[in-house]
Amino acid sequence: MPERAAASSSFSTPGASPDGSRAFLRHTVATLAYRAAKAIRHAPPTYAEVRAAPTSRSAREILSHMADLLDWALSQARGEERFETTTLRSWTDEVDRFVVAMRAFDQFLASEAPLARTPEVLFQGAIADALTHAGQLALLRRLADAPLRGENFALAEIVPGRTSLEQAAPRAEFGR
């Protein structure tokens, strides 16, 4: 079994950011924006309240949690770590809050401000969790009788800094 201290040392050094890792982190945020936007855009009116099971989160609750995760990531990056579960709002307000949270986090990453946590820690926590939830939103589209076309995301036009719902058209959707 590898030694824990040796394995985790590169992940615990505040501000450590090897060349390119901050740019890669911005790319992951842009990937999140692209994938989440695909699930959110043109969703039917009933989509916000669709659930996979009676005790699971609705699409609106998932999106709210995703915005909370991005707020948390920003607080970690700034060295002011806090996680808050915000009061649930309307679907439109949650969509807006999610976009604002993505934009704020991306703008911080694009700045010269030092990171208080490593890019690896920021990714393995909030961003990875949010990407998982983007997949849940896509699944809920199918349950809402509004399925999304599968896509070869490796060919998608993903651009760091593009954090709105306005994304490039898919380049390689399946079934076309």
Count of structural domains, the chain: 1
Given this model, what pLDDT does residue 19 score?
A: 58
Decide if 120 is inside a domain.
yes
Count CB-CB contacts under 10 A for residue 97.
Answer: 19
Residue in this structure with the two tokens 């969790």, named with its chain if needed: 129
Decide if 70 is inside a domain.
yes
Decide if 12 is inside a domain.
no
Residue in this structure with the two tokens 């307000």, named with its chain if needed: 93
Decide if 80 is inside a domain.
yes
Instruction: State pLDDT tens for residues 106-144.
Output: 999 999 999 999 999 999 999 999 999 999 999 999 999
Residue pair 106/30 in contact (Cβ under 8 Å)? The answer is: yes
Given this model, what pLDDT does residue 10 score?
A: 38
Token output for 137: 């939103």
Decide if 172 is inside a domain.
no
CA distances from 35 to 11, 51, 150 (A): 27, 19, 11
Decide if 68 is inside a domain.
yes
Given this model, what pLDDT does residue 117 score?
A: 95
Given this model, what pLDDT does residue 18 score?
A: 53
Distance CA 56, CA 132 (A): 15
Decide if 160 is inside a domain.
no
| 1: helix, strand or coil | coil
Given this model, what pLDDT does residue 31 score?
A: 98
**Domain range enclosing 101:** 19-47+57-155
Given this model, what pLDDT does residue 5 score?
A: 38
Decide if 168 is inside a domain.
no
Given this model, what pLDDT does residue 176 score?
A: 60
Residues of the chain with pLDDT under 70: 1-19, 176
- Cβ-defined contacts of 149-156 (< 8 Å, 24+): 149/173, 149/174, 149/175, 149/176, 150/174, 150/175, 151/38, 153/31, 153/34, 153/35, 156/34
Q: Whole-prediction pTM value?
A: 0.88
